[in-house]
Amino acid sequence: MPTYQYKAVNKTGQPARGTLDAANDIELELRLKRMGLDLITYHETTNQLSRWRGKITRQDLINFCFHMEQICRSGVPFLEGLKDLRDGAENPAFREIMSSMLEDMEGGKMLSQVLENHPAIFDNVFTNLVRAGEQTGKLTEIFESLAASIKWQDELIAQTRSLLIYPTMVLTVVSAVILFLLVYLVPQLVSLLKNMGIELPLQTRILIFLSETVSHYWPIIFGLPILAGIVIAATISRNDKARYLFDHVKLTLPFTGPILKKIIVARFANFFALMYQSGISVLDALKTCEGIVNNRVIADALQRAGQQINAGEGLTESFRNLGVFPPLVLRMLGVGEKTGALDNALLNISYFYNREVKESIEKLLKMLEPALTVFLGIIMGLIMYSVLMPVYDILGKIKF
């Protein structure tokens, strides 16, 4: 479907510009009419340019959730609220998505069904939670929680990026220096040492071998990891067993595995509590959470927990039998189940692990800087030692 860049005016005569997908110019004019705009001029543009200009950011999603929360809280009809939200959207691509959503909702679709048509923007977690909110009438709380969750993720990513700047710079510079030594300096040293006719030590012979390998086979050395990554990604996306194994490996990796598990547990506890408060049954909430956790290992464990609960086991006992959740989660679930305040217990779990995730990432990145500096320093030292050792031997044999 072609993409058009248009210039239009609204009912008050104010100009509006943007991009819109349409089968032809007639459909373009009809879609703009539904948006309350009158078409003035247009021209067809490439889809690639439209995608480049219309990237959907987390801030767009945060604003969307915030405004949807206010729409639900104030009792404004969805269609009217979405029209106002669309007209006020600064991102042309997001405004186009809002127009498509409005058309679908005017055709009788539910909000969750409309969101499913845009999986690249509204993921499975987002859609499942909105569906749960529609079932229970708790969309206000759902959008409030989604806005807080996306904002927390955005802050976490921004914090991680800022802390990774220094290690990335060190790694880039030292890697460039090592590559320069292997490709340029070592071959010149080899020719010098061969002319001298001296015996080379083991570490120097190893360095020469590495230099020749990098110089002659660099397309394979650099291309093979990229090709392997593409093959692995394609296998994971198409094969359920590979996806399960990949999710299991992610949870068992040192350092990052425990952090990822805390993130999943915090997300599960938060949204499970939200659905429990909304009146959704435990079994239905667990079923929805299978799509929310975004990890096959945890999702499979939740499915088994639901089967055990359905067979008559208690919630805490079912989770204990899984062997996946930490003891703290089991203790809090036990307390919540005994006191009848399961939602509060789950929210406490979410709060605790959200805090733990931030602290764990800060500690990991602070440890990464000195560890990376020491490791790269050792590599540089070994290379320089292998290069200079034969030179010192030559100088030692020269008689003045």
Task: Write the DSSP assignment of 233-253 as a string of letters.
Answer: HHHHHH-HHHHHHHHHHHHHS
Instruction: Provide the token pair at 129.
Output: 């939670």
Give the per-residue pLDDT at 398. 59
Go through 236-272 and write b for each residue having 16 or more CB atoms within 10 A of its CB, e for each that does not. beeeeeebbebbeeebeeeeeebbbbbbbbbbbbbbb
CATH number belonging to the domain at 259-354, selected among 3.40.50.300, 1.10.760.10, 1.20.81.30, 1.20.58.1910: 1.20.81.30
Q: Is the pLDDT of residue 53 over 70?
A: no
**Angle formed by the axes of helices 327-339 and 315-322, to 10°?**
170
Q: Is the pLDDT of residue 293 over 70?
A: yes
Among 6-15, 62-71, 330-339, whose mean pLDDT is lowest?
6-15
Q: Is the pLDDT of residue 210 over 70?
A: yes
pLDDT digits (tens, 9 = 90+) for 327-339: 888 998 899 888 8
Give the per-residue pLDDT at 133. 82
Q: Is the pLDDT of residue 258 over 70?
A: yes
State percent of the chain over pLDDT 90: 6
pLDDT, averaged across the chain:
81
Measure the CA–CA gap between 11 and 13, rounded to whole angstroms: 6
Give the per-residue pLDDT at 218. 82
Q: Is the pLDDT of residue 230 over 90?
A: yes
Give the per-residue pLDDT at 308. 92
Q: What is the mean pLDDT of residues 315-329?
A: 88
Q: Is the pLDDT of residue 227 over 90?
A: yes
Residue-wise DSSP of 323-340: T-S-HHHHHHHHHHHHHT
Give the start-to-end residue ranges of the domains of the chain: 3-52, 58-151, 259-354
CATH number belonging to the domain at 58-151, selected among 3.60.21.10, 1.20.81.30, 1.10.260.40, 3.40.50.2300: 1.20.81.30
Q: What is the mean pLDDT of residues 222-250?
A: 90
Q: Is the pLDDT of residue 268 over 50?
A: yes
Q: Which helix (H) or strand (E) holds 145?
A: helix 139-180
pLDDT digits (tens, 9 = 90+) for 97-147: 888 888 888 878 888 888 888 888 887 778 877 887 887 788 888 888 888
Give the per-residue pLDDT at 245. 93
pLDDT digits (tens, 9 = 90+) for 173-182: 878 888 887 8
Give the per-residue pLDDT at 51. 43
Strand-pair partners of 9: 15, 38
Give the per-residue pLDDT at 246. 92
Q: Is 77 helix (H, G, I), strand (E, B) or coil?
A: coil
Confidence of residue 289 (pLDDT cuts 50, 70, 90): confident
Listed in sequence order, the DSSP H helices in 239-312 are: 240-252, 256-277, 282-292, 296-310
pLDDT digits (tens, 9 = 90+) for 368-381: 778 877 887 888 78
Q: Is the pLDDT of residue 49 over 60?
A: no
Domains 58-151 and 259-354 share a fold: yes
Q: Is the pLDDT of residue 23 over 90?
A: no
* Contact (Cβ atoms closer than 8 angstroms) between residue 50 and residue 93: yes
The contacts of residue 208 (CB under 8 Å, 6+ apart) are: 186, 190, 200
| pTM of the predicted model as reported, rounded to 2 decimal places | 0.66
pLDDT digits (tens, 9 = 90+) for 145-203: 888 888 877 887 777 777 677 778 877 887 888 888 788 877 777 777 767 666 777 87
Among 340-344, 366-370, 388-392, whose mean pLDDT is lowest?
388-392
- Angle formed at CA 308 by CA 295 and CA 301, multiple of 5 degrees: 15
